[in-house]
Structure 1
Amino acid sequence: MNKKFTAEILLLFVAFIWGATFVIVQNAIDILPPLLFNAIRFMIAGIIILIIYLIRRKKNKIPQKNAFIAGVVLGSCLFIGYSLQTIGLLYTTPSKAGFITGLSVVMVPLLAFFILKSRPSPTAILGSIAATIGLYLLAVKNTSPFSIGDFYVLLCTFGFAFHIIFTDRFAKKLPVLLLTTIQLFTVAFLCLISAFIFENWEIILNPELYNSSSLLFALFITAILGTSIAFFIQTYSQKATSPTRVAIILAMEPVFAAITSFLWINERLSIGAVIGCILILFGMIIAELPVSKWGIFPFKKKQTIPK
């Protein structure tokens, strides 16, 4: 089993975690404000990864300053993504927010081309298009005019897309555990400051809050599986695969969310949503195939006949 295949299977597992925990998070933020919930979630996750890093720390020639700057950049991108998505959800529907956020499937290869000078393969482009159409069918049930909430969610998509792009740049050069630790603490710090400014942070002092088993369960699952393990895997896996493929694989998140919602809360899928799930899966598969397998992409170099 080669390293690239292993990395992409791990990324698919991350998409499953994020999709499967959607219902859990949705119930938790009914009890705790979203920014405060994320602050606690990312703080717990950061402490877990920090402990592992300190135990396994080895002397590294890479300056700590480089890892700190890179981690802050990645954490800031994540914070922009999570916070603007939360604000947008105040003014738009979850289905439209899910579709717009999923547009990172298209943004990542474009940004990778301009920033990393990485030209996506024809199959990756076709896979991105198929996944985007699938996201539309899965997430958008009733169309409505573009709102201020949709604009905020569109901005959040840039945060998630830049996070994938910069992870590709930094993960290949810096220690994964240290990089993950710094970005998680950055998100926690920025979310905490924002919670103090925009939310009722005093709710955390309410002792009845800690009697909520659903909240404690949500914090436990999302902090360990959905944050510390998930972002460590993403950072590690991007050493071996391209940003475009990462975006397409992570587009499976709403598919897993739809499946788990059906299994846990009996939420029915429309025919269009089922077709959307199939298209996202199709996009992920064809993006993995080499161009040589497709006769429709005749981009081979012409062989010169020796004289």
Structure 2
Amino acid sequence: MKLRNSLLLFLTATIWGVAFVAQSVGMDYVGPFTFLFARSLIGGIVLLPVVAVLHRSGPGHAGETPADRRRARKTLLLGGVCCGAALCFASIFQQVGLLYTTVGKSGFLTACYILIVPLIGLLFGRKCGKLVWCGVALAVAGLYFLCLTDGFSVNLGDAITFVCAILFSVHILVIDYFSPRTDGVKMSCIQFFVCAAIAAAGMLLFEQPSLGALLAAWKPVLYAGALSSGVGYTLQIVGQKGMNPTVASLIMSLESVISVIAGWLILGQSLSGREIFGCVLMFAAIVLAQLPNAPKENAVN
């Protein structure tokens, strides 16, 4: 089960890593709220037939009372709303931060959720083993070599993006709480419509969206919506089920490595020796965190 979930999270990181290319191109045509609204709406729509098929073919719950069904619906709705709100605010902080900082710094600061997740977990009594903490430290070092090629200084964009990392940490922990308690695909579908609704409000307040601009950006928006949102975040919810959130965040942080590789393959951006070294450290961190004595941390509640 843990191997399968690890592979699902790695596939999630791959989809998200490639999505950096789509996100970069899409922002040439539309604003951050418009892009987020479109991708989230598409993500929710893509999952509607999946939810319908799973609901029709899924087994019933013998002995379930009407009160049980009401509680289950309430948990599902609450989980979808909480996940959607966390995802929306994290994503928009990332988009806005990119207007004021470099892509490399944004990648490093966003992926700092691998350190923030276990720190927040400590507040709720969740302890991590030594190998996991070593993996976190190694991953941070890897991200430094991978993303920060021009030194490090803090500006407005860096501060905004660091808030994004905190919010993505919250999103991971919210999923960790709700995924064992409800249907992951249904919750993912709800989260996208919630995210789209919040983004739509920001789009109408702060931007001037046009159908022509969205049509011009249809390829990156479709990828970001159908794959990065619809498939990627659903795989995250399903893959995180039963996984320690710190280990899950380490695997998903590989999106930074894959984004560099995608930039090389798709956009023709070359890899420096420093970046290759950072990739090696990142992969070593993932392996280290999942060695046999690493899963001895507190189980997911």
TM-score > 0.5 by shorter chain: yes
Q: For each residue in 1:81-120, what CA deviation from the matched residue of structure 2 results, as whole angstroms up to 9, or x when unmatched? A: 11111111122111111111111010111112213x2211
Question: Is the alpha carbon distance of 1:178 and 1:209 closer, same or farther for their aligned partners in structure 2, counting shifts above 3 Å?
Answer: closer
Q: Partners in 2 of 1:160 and 1:257 — Cα distance?
A: 18
Tell me, yes or no, if structure 1 residue 183 matches structure 2 residue 191.
yes
Aligned residue number for residue 203 of structure 2: 195
Q: Secondary structure at the match of 1:63?
A: helix
* Per-residue deviation, 1:252: 0.6
The answer on whether the counterparts of 2:180 and 2:241 sit within 8 Å (CA) in structure 1 is yes
Tell me, yes or no, if structure 1 residue 45 matches structure 2 residue 47.
no
* Per-residue deviation, 1:262: 1.0
What amino acid does structure 2 have at the position aligned with 1:12?
F
Tell me, yes or no, if structure 1 residue 78 matches structure 2 residue 80.
no
Which of residues 250, 257, 260 is equivalent to 2:259?
257
Q: For each residue in 1:213-242, what CA deviation from the matched residue of structure 2 results, as whole angstroms up to 9, or x when unmatched? A: xx2222222222111111111111111311
Equivalent runs, 1:1-150 vs 2, <5 Å: 3-57=1-55, 61=69, 62-115=71-124, 117-150=125-158
What amino acid does structure 2 have at the position aligned with 1:181?
C
* Per-residue deviation, 1:21: 2.2
Max Rg structure: 1
Which of residues 197, 218, 235 is equivalent to 1:233?
235
Question: Is the alpha carbon distance of 1:94 and 1:292 closer, same or farther for their aligned partners in structure 2, counting shifts above 3 Å?
Answer: closer
Q: Percent same amino acid at aligned positions?
A: 27
Question: Is the alpha carbon distance of 1:144 and 1:248 closer, same or farther for their aligned partners in structure 2, counting shifts above 3 Å?
Answer: closer
Which of residues 245, 248, 262 is equivalent to 1:246?
248
* Per-residue deviation, 1:149: 1.3
Q: Secondary structure at the match of 1:223?
A: helix
The answer on whether the counterparts of 1:11 and 1:246 sit within 8 Å (CA) in structure 2 is yes
* Per-residue deviation, 1:209: 5.1
Q: Secondary structure at the match of 2:192?
A: helix
Which of residues 282, 285, 290 is equivalent to 1:280?
282
Q: Partners in 2 of 1:176 and 1:128 — Cα distance?
A: 27
More displaced, 56-65 or 234-243? 56-65
* Per-residue deviation, 1:292: 8.3
* Per-residue deviation, 1:136: 0.8
Aligned residue number for residue 152 of structure 1: 160
The answer on whether the counterparts of 1:122 and 1:291 sit within 8 Å (CA) in structure 2 is no
Q: Secondary structure at the match of 1:21?
A: helix
Number of residue pairs aligned between Structure 1 and Structure 2 = 284
* Per-residue deviation, 1:56: 2.5
Aligned residue number for residue 302 of structure 1: none
The answer on whether the counterparts of 1:98 and 1:254 sit within 8 Å (CA) in structure 2 is yes
* Per-residue deviation, 1:270: 1.8
The answer on whether the counterparts of 1:72 and 1:183 sit within 8 Å (CA) in structure 2 is yes
The answer on whether the counterparts of 2:132 and 2:294 sit within 8 Å (CA) in structure 1 is no
Q: Partners in 2 of 1:147 and 1:243 — Cα distance?
A: 30
What amino acid does structure 1 have at the position aligned with 2:141?
I
Question: Is the alpha carbon distance of 1:64 and 1:209 closer, same or farther for their aligned partners in structure 2, counting shifts above 3 Å?
Answer: closer
Aligned residue number for residue 299 of structure 1: none
* Per-residue deviation, 1:148: 1.5
What amino acid does structure 2 have at the position aligned with 1:103?
C
Gaps of 5+ in 2: 62-68, 296-301
Q: Partners in 1 of 2:180 and 2:230 — Cα distance?
A: 19
Q: Secondary structure at the match of 2:242?
A: coil
* Per-residue deviation, 1:34: 2.0
